[in-house]
Amino acid sequence: MKHKIAGRKLGLPKDMRRALLRSLVAELFLRERITTTVTRAKEASSIAEKVITFGKGGTIHHRQLALAEIPNKEVVSKVFDQLSKRYSERAGGYTRILKMGTRKGDGAPTAILELVP
């Protein structure tokens, strides 16, 4: 039984999975909308929500925590400068997952992961 085991493995080793999710979240913050599989979108959404919450904190410690999640200074500065102001009144739910259907090649369920305006 898989009691108290959080997260999805995505068929990847830990370091590759972490790199994949970091890059997905970085692209989400840069483009504000990405297309990926449903399971990857769900995992990336939780990381993105956490980083935006760090951005709303605004302290140096929160910036360090965000850089630990996404080691890209341009992306983190965008989160702290623009996105934290956009979501200052919002208590949570910064991302949205819209299911699109299946991918043609392998039939994987795809989704659009986007930041809520």
| pLDDT tens digits along 4-43 | 888 889 999 999 999 999 999 999 999 999 999 999 999 9
Q: What percent of the chain has pLDDT over 70?
A: 100
Give the global pTM.
0.90
Q: How many angstroms separate the CA atoms of 69 and 23, rounded?
A: 10
In this prediction, residues 106-111 reach a mean pLDDT of 96
So what's the pLDDT on residue 33? 97
Six token digits for residue 52: 């935006």
So what's the pLDDT on residue 18? 96
Delineate the domains of the chain, giving CATH numbers in brackets. Answer: 39-115 (3.90.1030.10)
* CB 112, CB 35: distance < 8 Å: yes
Tell me which residue has tokens 């919450």. 53
Which parts of 32-72 fold into alpha helices (H)? 38-57, 60-69
